[in-house]
């Protein structure tokens, strides 16, 4: 029996070959994600049983529970899924293109660039233009910082190691600029910006948040998956990719652009949530191997589950306080980063 399943879109001329193992892992992770969604939606100051959560999703729960599930908790849960998936895929692309296991949007400065764009939006345009424009500002901020990284790292091409090292320095500088803006601004906006910088998905709504982020993720994730073959080629190294006929620098620029857009859109809503883009691809690689046709969807599911779990703990562990989810992802991710650094110590 073949170990692979072929996915084809005949009219578009697109095909994918997935291992059956990847299909099964994806189905299991989808089931886990749904379970965590139901559990997370039911937990809080007023607990709701999983059965009643499912009834609420079907529109058959008592009125009070229907409002709690559909209006108050489900938007936050959906946002966690979207942000976790976007950050995980952005990190997977970077690790493939840069060929560095420590690469992620927050490590090389993309997250900080997006945060700076969002903080500028908060300070300059709060109350004057629609919040739906915030992702655009965050993505522009991420693109500007990534463009700066590209220029500084260029030396007859962009060296992956040089890009990471310069990115770490630029990331620290951009973060300091964001904090300077926060300190010098009005107290009310500063409080909102500090919560944003910590990475929080508190108080999400369907119209203001879910419908703002959903179009970006719904478009960018499939487009990124269609580029999986190019990420595989990039991961082989510049010499091998060039000998295979690939336009290395053009492909690298496109793939980094997709990563920037995903990270920027996620950060614009959830703030600077760290380490999802670092951890999820490594976990996915252990499950389905290094091929990006399998790695990207599995990374997205793992990223969604990790952020869902982190937000569940953040929301319920210290009631009535609601701790930013980014605090917990950082608490998990920092030791994970040190572990990766130790394991790859001979490469640096």
How far apart are the C-alpha atoms of 284 and 85, rounded to whole Å? 12
> pLDDT averaged over the chain?
84
pLDDT digits (tens, 9 = 90+) for 108-134: 888 888 888 888 888 888 778 877 788
Domain ranges of the chain: 4-344
What does pTM read for this prediction?
0.88
Q: Can you state the percent helix, strand and coil of the chain, rounding each to 5?
A: 75, 5, 20
State the Rg of the chain over Cα.
20
* 62, two tokens: 């008592």
Residue positions counted in the chain: 348
Tell me the per-residue pLDDT of 191-207, one tens digit each, with 9 for 90 and over: 777 777 778 888 888 98
CB atoms within 10 A of CB 227: 17
Q: Which strand (E) or helix (H) includes residue 19?
A: strand 14-19
% of the chain beyond a pLDDT of 70:
91
DSSP assigned state of 205: -
pLDDT in tens, 255-269: 888 998 999 899 889
Q: Which CATH superfamily is domain 4-344 in?
A: ABC transporter involved in vitamin B12 uptake, BtuC (1.10.3470.10)
Of 23, 104, 19, 11, nearest in space to 301 by CA: 23
């Amino acid at each position: 029996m073949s170990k692979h399943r072929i996915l084809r879109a005949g009219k578009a001329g697109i095909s994918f070959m997935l291992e059956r193992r990847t299909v099964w892992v994806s189905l299991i992770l989808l089931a886990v994600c749904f379970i965590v969604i139901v559990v997370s939606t039911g937990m809080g100051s007023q607990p709701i049983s999983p059965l009643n959560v499912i009834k609420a999703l079907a529109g058959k729960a008592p009125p009070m529970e229907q409002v709690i599930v559909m209006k108050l908790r489900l938007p936050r849960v959906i946002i966690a899924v979207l942000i976790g998936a976007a950050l995980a895929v952005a990190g997977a692309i970077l690790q493939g293109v840069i060929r560095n296991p420590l690469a992620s949007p927050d490590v090389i400065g993309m997250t900080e660039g997006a945060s700076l764009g969002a903080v500028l939006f908060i300070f300059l345009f709060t109350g004057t233009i629609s919040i739906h424009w915030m992702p655009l500002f965050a993505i522009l901020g991420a693109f500007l910082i990534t463009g700066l990284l590209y220029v500084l790292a260029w030396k007859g091409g962009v060296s992956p190691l040089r890009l990471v090292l310069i990115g770490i320095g630029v990331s620290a500088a951009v973060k300091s600029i964001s904090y300077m803006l926060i300190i010098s601004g009005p107290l009310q906006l500063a409080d909102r910006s500090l919560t944003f910088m910590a990475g929080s998905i508190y108080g999400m709504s369907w119209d203001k948040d879910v419908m703002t982020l959903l179009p970006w993720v719904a478009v960018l994730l499939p487009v990124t998956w269609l580029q999986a073959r190019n990420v595989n080629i990039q991961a082989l190294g510049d010499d091998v990719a060039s000998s295979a006929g690939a336009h290395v620098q053009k492909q690298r620029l496109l793939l980094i652009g997709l990563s920037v857009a995903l990270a920027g859109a996620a950060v614009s809503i959830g703030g600077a949530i760290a380490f999802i883009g670092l951890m999820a691809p490594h976990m996915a690689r252990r499950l389905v191997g290094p091929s990006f046709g399998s790695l990207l969807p599995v990374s997205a599911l793992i990223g969604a589950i990790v952020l869902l779990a982190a937000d569940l703990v953040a929301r319920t562990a210290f009631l009535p306080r609601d701790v930013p989810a980014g605090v917990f992802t950082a608490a998990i991710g920092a030791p994970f980063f040190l572990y990766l650094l130790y394991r790859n110590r001979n490469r640096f």
